[in-house]
Structure 1
Amino acid sequence: MPDDIIYGRNPVWEILKDGKPLNKVLFQNGLKGEQVQKILDVVRERGIPFQFAERSVLDRISGGGRHQGLLVYTAPRAYAEVGDILALAQTKGEDPFILVLDGVEDPHNLGALLRTAEAVGVHGVIIPKRRSVPLTGVVAKTSAGAVEHIPVARVTNLVRVLQEMQRAGCWICGADASGTDVFATDLTGPRVLVIGGEGKGLGRLVRESCDQVVALPMLGAMTSLNASVAGAVLLYETLRQRLAKG
């Protein structure tokens, strides 16, 4: 069983009381009781993702442990707010440089992207709560410690957040094979770079929310790159242009 999973009613309640960061809470179908309701109320109040599942699912995840119908996935660090990311850029006196990941589901890709994002000076990374890998131990390990140095916000609605970024003066740039050549595109100024998930790319509504869409030239037989590799190239091209502009 992974180290980031905790189960049992009392351990789950204690971790909630301590305010430790959580990725998701799993309740057994039909679970009742005063303590269970109290836990559910706190989870809803804090906006922590949760779902109900059959006992067999919890049995499998807990490795046959005495889960008492409750199981939580912990996060290696607390999530930031979107406002914190914008405030960080303002504090540094820099144009916002933000990475948004639309449905990246591989923890190794997320960890690698966090590592690159931290290296190029991204002010923060935004991921969705649904259909995306959260911060986990594997992500933290793959990031080689970068997860401790870059704010990561986890949001319910990416489209709404992108609109918020536009109102804040940011230019939204999505990565998609149908886009224009990234090396011929101006990526300077307040910038939000949006990378799609493995195999699926950008969601339709997310793509429609972008101000511009760019692509990497593909001259060989392959038509796409790994999400973390493509993201790294786009992040460093953005950094190159920012440095050139001064």
Structure 2
Amino acid sequence: MSDNDTGGTPKDSHYARLRRAHREKTRGAPPVRPRRPSHPGRPAPADRVRLYGIHTVQAALANPERRLHRLLATRNAVNRLELAGEPPCPLEIVEPKLLDQELGTDAVHQGVMLEADPLPARRLDSLAEANLLLVLDQVTDPHNVGAILRSAAAFDVGALITTTRHSPQESGVLAKSASGALEVVPHIEVVNLADALGELASLGYQTVGLDSEGPQPLEAALAGRKVALILGSEGKGLRQKTRDTVASLARLDVPGRIKSLNVSNAAAVALYAARWHLAR
């Protein structure tokens, strides 16, 4: 005997009930808007970088070492930048859509873009009396490097040292993640990290590599009055050559069940410990 013969509901009534339930659940809810298609943006002119975001651009405009070319901003962004007098480079008032076309729809530009030259290259022998340095051994993610730069600025690091290869170049993504710190923390690129660590040692820096299997906690390893902390890549950590070159290896002791930290978080914790040591 069929469902219809017994006076029951049709076989497709199950789906009808689901549709009714969905209508009831979503009644009054805001409509679902289709996601914007991703657009990569236009490439920057040769030998220039495009910086974006309010804090990033504000810091770059205030940096006397920046050679600026043009500033594109919405009217709202101009007010947020709080420019004192005439801007230091040509300013174009634009609509947000134009910035999406220039930078790509994934860039969180906050209505402003600055076109400038990359910062001048620096050398290790340009280090003055800095007592704390941060060295990255092939950390490749620009978001991580940007976050590390923010921590470096917060803890008054004298310079961030990276390798020329297998490290992100200066870019809008890195600068936005650094939120202005790229303009205040000197960034030095070296070709050979082992040679650079040797030079730092000759300049009086205690080179301490962070390693999860380090023989002692970082707090116990810190001994000198000038410290260079070395952190490895997101996945592999320090390379063997780097392990063999640093003066000592140390670990970050953490009490929780997860014993490893993201490299940017590890950098912040290590910098706090180093600053505490140097302040004693």
TM-score, normalising length: structure 2: 0.58
Q: Indicate the residue corresponding to 2:263 in structure 1.
A: 227
Q: Deviations over 1:159-196 (max 9, x none)?
A: 00001111112111000011111133335411111011
Q: Indicate the residue corresponding to 2:155 in structure 1.
A: 120
Q: Which amino acid aligns with 2:154?
A: A
The Cα shift of 1:201 comes to 0.3
1:168 aligns with 2:210: no
CA contact (8 A) 1:188 1:241 kept: no
CA contact (8 A) 1:178 1:215 kept: yes
Q: Deviations over 1:190-231 (max 9, x none)?
A: 111101110110011011111111111133332311000001
1:83 aligns with 2:125: yes
Q: Indicate the residue corresponding to 1:135 in structure 2.
A: 170
**In structure 1, how many angstroms separate the alpha carbons of the residues matched to 2:276 and 2:228?**
15
1:216 aligns with 2:258: no
Q: Deviations over 1:92-120 (max 9, x none)?
A: xx5x3111000111111101111111111
In the alignment, structure 2 segments of 5+ residues that lack a partner are 1-39, 50-103, 105-115
| 139-148 vs 212-221, greater mean Cα deviation | 212-221
Q: Which amino acid aligns with 1:184?
A: A
Q: Which amino acid aligns with 1:150?
A: V
Q: What is the aligned-residue identity percentage?
A: 34
Q: Compare the two structures and name the one with the higher strand fraction.
A: 1
What SS class does the counterpart of residue 229 from structure 2 fall into? strand
Q: Deviations over 1:24-81 (max 9, x none)?
A: xxxxxxxxxxxxxxxxxxxxxxxxxxxxxxxxxxxxxxx9xxxxxxxxxx97423321
RMSD: 2.5
Map 1:198-209; keep pairs closer than 5 Å.
198-209=234-245
Map 1:177-196; keep pairs closer than 5 Å.
177-179=212-214, 180-196=216-232
CA contact (8 A) 1:4 1:75 kept: no
In the alignment, structure 1 segments of 5+ residues that lack a partner are 7-11, 22-62, 64-73
Q: Indicate the residue corresponding to 1:155 in structure 2.
A: 190
Count of equivalent residues: 177
CA contact (8 A) 1:80 1:151 kept: yes
Q: Compare the two structures and name the one with the higher helix fraction.
A: 1
The Cα shift of 1:133 comes to 1.5
The Cα shift of 1:4 comes to 6.2
Map 1:41-80; keep pairs closer than 5 Å.
76-80=118-122
CA distance change for structure 1 residues 137 and 4 in 2, over 3 Å: closer, same or farther?
farther
TM-score, normalising length: structure 1: 0.66
